[in-house]
Amino acid sequence: MFLLLMRTDASNLECKTRHLMVQSISEEITSLRPGVIRDVAEALEMERLCGVKLDSNPVITTDLFACGSIYIASDRSHHVGDMNSIEDAVNYLSSSGNTCKDMVLRSGVHYLKKTLILGKENEGLRIIGEDSNTWISGGTVVNSKTNKLVVETFAENVLKLHYEHSNTSKDATNLFMLEPHIRMQRSRWPNSNTEVDQWGYASTLSGKVSVTLDSVEAWLAPPRGDIPTFTFVDLRQPNNPSSFIKNDSAQVSPY
Amino acid sequence: MYSSGHDGVCSDMWDTSYSSSYWCGNASSGGWAEVDNEFAKSGRLGIPVGLTYKVDSLFADRAKHWNNATSAVIHAWHSQSWFTNMFEVKRHTNSTLFFGRGGSQGGRSWCRCDQCSYAAKDWCKNNTDPKALISGTFYVENVLEELDSPQEFYSSAGSLEILLNATYDPYNISFIVPRLSTLIEIRGTTNIVISKVGFRDTKQTYLDKYGVPSGGDWALNKQAAIVIEDSSFITVKHSQFKRLDSNGILLMKRCRNVTLKGNEFSWIGESAMAAWGETNEWDGQAGNQPRGTVVKHNIVREIGIYEKQSSAWFQAKSCQTTITGNLFFNMPRAAINFNDGFGGGNIVSNNFIFNTCRESGDHGAINSWDRQPFIWDSILGFNPQPTFITNNFIFAGYGASQGVDNDDGSSFYHIINNVFYDADGFKMDYGGHDSLFADNLIITRPYDGQNCVNMAAFYPKHQHRYMFNTCIMPVSVGQKVGHLSYCNGNNQKPGILRNNSYFSKGANASFECNGQLDTLLQVQEKFHLESGSMSNELPSDDIIFDWIHSKVQSFHQQPTKRMEIM
């Protein structure tokens, strides 16, 4: 699986232990999709720390089951006889009395208009994706076909897209590109890649992609409010209301 | 003791409809509990309602260009970096940002300079107000004037502005505005299977009102791509959860036999999988909790994009969970978090965990708290079943201190036959008891001197047991095995320690007991501890690796004969 190049930063023991982690994962977890082992090796910094490169990748399979009665069309796959939406299919299956309650989602994206609620009438339901490109999305599409678009140059090699879309814009607290599926970042200071930049207290980017206390005069304390209602029970007492006695409680003056 | 609080300032901040808050009680205890205790009793929480920035600061240079910061959001680390808080700005006047929604994403308050100045030593020294609230670092988002980098966007009523690299065709590109924070809600039903479905594009929820589920540090919101409530025999398998900005899967209230198997979670705003049960204060006998959940062969990576107190698996007021054969890596805090000791009976086995606590510390790859006792069974009462943590291969790099951080009061853990690399060994804190730490292989690293074991005393017959472990202290760590206390005690002893093997340069393992440093031989002779234990010379790296390899191989084997005598 690995090509040993040369040792770099880490000790031999550390590198061999990291290597063992990768090997054991690939042997133990049979449901890994292609590409995961390469990601694991990258996360363990095998190449940077240990000079080790992955030269192969396991391929795995997962099961697909369906008695095949109901198919649901996606944004890019619609066959004759397919139902139009997941909601329609769920409603149909809950009222039809079918013993087979399998519904297969066609490959592509299925946009939900509202949360799909499954209750007692949906017992026995099986929702199956046609392949690994089958997605349920909680979003609404914004593009130049659905919304008026103005494009201008913001800077060299950077475009500014201005969509008018009164129905969705005020709710756009987060945003993704559809394809490729990329997270867009709310205009931020200091700038950063929110997905990957680490800004914890010991992270190398702390204070670089975040602001330190040096800029703070004060965090405003809240005004005094109503004191909460307290519940306090000494469980060591024989007459405590729990009807059990607990005299080894971890939080009773253990020292 | 059982302690909690609700109403008043507590319900103003957190959603207490499912649970009162331990941190709003008047008798909370454990690490830094005096901070929350004081705030609760005074009716004045330590969570800010605004930020005044220095007029000559970097922040002021930036903010003076902002025409309208209303609806901006501040993301700020808790004073001791246990979680992040988000605050919506509702007004910006002079040099002050006044907050509206937000602040409830963690279960606890920030501390002040007079409570924990170590968290901001220089800032507190230069601050004239001893009661100044401390934060970690922070950033601001959703300001129009800060729209200055590709892949950024700014939205307002009626329009959406996006900056994009010119390599994209702007007329042939689509964006998704998430509208739903929960995609599927399964409630009050049974026998439903979801297989090979991908879930994406949920709306972020971090300005919602979170609840404080039990005595751990966490707060949690009730949204997830899939919410399963009061249901049984539900299976979610071989599915992908990708770029969801709330949680992945959340089990609520009475769930039985839910199986989450072979799924992959990545780039998630908060936690991947979580379970949150309900009790009537200390009484959980009604059974309204997730029990018997199986979490198997899942891959969880790159979570906690927004809320840093997020985990691959989190549970509060839940029990009898099996977490096995999973791969968890690249996350800001613990991979597995037990917020309380409710019921126990969990099995954590054969998992691979690394790159946890990448943005935080004072925590483990697996973390637990046990500050509130709960009756989970009408016969066993408050006593939970043991939780087994066995056959796991864990790197505790970055800010993780132990492979398993049994924090405040954690009890009834049986931690057996694991490999903990780059890790401290066993930890007891604030009165944990009745745990067994045995047959583990620990390769320590310089951290805070706890190294192989850190145990205080507890009542006889309820002490922890630490035995048959192999603990290797590399040259950089030195000779100190760890801390013990009450070594001479009559009524209390620092647990049962025996048959351990310590390896260090010079074969001179020593213990700090009651502030004094003693060799292993002295500990054996003076205190009658560590019978059968040995101090050995540090072996070569090749030998250490052989031991690691053998231990990992043993994960597939039956428990050894040696284990039967424990």
**E-assigned strands of B78-221?**
84-93, 96-102, 138-141, 152-156, 159-165, 174-178, 184-187, 190-195, 198-200
Range with the lowest mean pLDDT among B5-9, B280-284, B439-443, B491-495? B491-495
Q: Are residues A48 and A102 in the same domain?
A: no
**E-assigned strands of B115-156?**
138-141, 152-156
Q: Is the pLDDT of residue A4 over 60?
A: no
Average pLDDT rounded to a whole number, residues A8-27:
81
Q: Do A174 and B180 touch (CB under 8 A)?
A: no
**E-assigned strands of B2-157?**
2-6, 50-53, 73-77, 84-93, 96-102, 138-141, 152-156
Q: Give the confidence band of A45 by pLDDT, cuts at 50, 70, 90.
A: confident
> Does residue A253 fall inside a structural domain?
no
Any idea what DSSP says for residue B47? S
What would the two tokens of residue B335 be?
């991979």
Residue with tokens 């951080």: B405
Q: Least CA distance to A139: which residue of chain B?
A: B178
Average pLDDT rounded to a whole number, residues B34-46:
96
More reliable by pLDDT, A65 or B148:
B148
More reliable by pLDDT, A10 or B291:
B291
Domain locations along chain B: 46-145, 184-564
Shortest distance between the Cα of A122 and any Cα of chain B, in A, equals 7
Q: Least CA distance to B350: which residue of chain A?
A: A28
pLDDT at B35: 96
What would the two tokens of residue B196 be?
């090979």
Distance between CA atoms of B408 and B363, rounded to whole angstroms?
Answer: 11
Average pLDDT rounded to a whole number, residues B109-126:
95
pLDDT at A252: 42
Q: Give the confidence band of A61 by pLDDT, cuts at 50, 70, 90.
A: very low
Long-range contacts of A142-150 (CB under 8 A, 24+ apart): A142/A168, A142/B160, A142/B174, A142/B175, A142/B176, A142/B177, A143/B173, A143/B174, A143/B175, A144/B170, A144/B171, A144/B172, A147/B160, A149/B170, A149/B171
Q: Give the structural domain span for A42.
A: 2-54
Residue with tokens 């023991």: A13
Q: Are residues A46 and A78 in the same domain?
A: no
Neighbours of A156 (CB within 10 A): 6
Return the CATH architecture of domain B184-564. 3 Solenoid (2.160)
> Does residue A175 fall inside a structural domain?
no
Average pLDDT rounded to a whole number, residues A182-199:
97
Residue with tokens 């205080």: B456
Range with the lowest mean pLDDT among A61-70, A205-214, B147-156, B273-282? A61-70
With an 8 Å Cβ cutoff, is A35 touching chain B? Answer: no
Mutation target among B160, B189, B412, B544 for the A interface, most CBs of A within 10 A: B160
pLDDT at A6: 39
> Does residue A148 fall inside a structural domain?
no
Q: Is the pLDDT of residue B535 over 50?
A: yes
* Tens-place pLDDT, residues B174-217: 999 999 999 999 999 999 999 999 999 999 999 999 999 999 99
Q: Is the pLDDT of residue B540 over 80?
A: yes
Average pLDDT rounded to a whole number, residues A83-88:
95
* Tens-place pLDDT, residues A116-137: 999 999 999 999 999 999 999 9
Q: Is the pLDDT of residue B325 over 80?
A: yes
CB-CB neighbors (< 8 A) of A33 in chain B:
264
Q: Give the confidence band of A26 by pLDDT, cuts at 50, 70, 90.
A: confident
Q: Give the confidence band of A59 by pLDDT, cuts at 50, 70, 90.
A: very low
pLDDT at A136: 98
pLDDT at A54: 66
Range with the lowest mean pLDDT among B239-248, B331-340, B407-416, B452-461? B452-461
More reliable by pLDDT, B125 or A47:
B125
* Tens-place pLDDT, residues B478-522: 889 999 988 887 777 788 999 999 999 999 999 998 889 999 999
Q: How many domains are there within chain A?
A: 2
Q: Which residues contact B224 (CB under 8 A, 6 or more apart)?
A: B182, B246, B247, B248, B249, B250, B274
> Does residue A37 fall inside a structural domain?
yes
The continuous run of DSSP H or E covering A52 comes out as: strand A52-54
Mean pLDDT of chain B: 94
Nearest by CB: A248 against B171, B193, B462: B462
pLDDT at B117: 93
Average pLDDT rounded to a whole number, residues A154-167:
88
Q: Do A143 and B173 touch (CB under 8 A)?
A: yes
% of chain B exceeding 70 in pLDDT = 98
Q: Would you say the C-alpha torsion A195, A31, B194, A84 has a positive or negative sign? A: positive
> Does residue A196 fall inside a structural domain?
no
Q: Give the confidence band of B384 by pLDDT, cuts at 50, 70, 90.
A: very high
> Does residue A92 fall inside a structural domain?
yes
% of chain B exceeding 90 in pLDDT = 88
CB pairs under 8 A between A and B: 562
* Tens-place pLDDT, residues A224-236: 999 999 999 999 8
Q: Least CA distance to A212: which residue of chain B?
A: B137
Q: Is the pLDDT of residue A149 over 50?
A: yes
Q: Give the confidence band of A166 by pLDDT, cuts at 50, 70, 90.
A: low
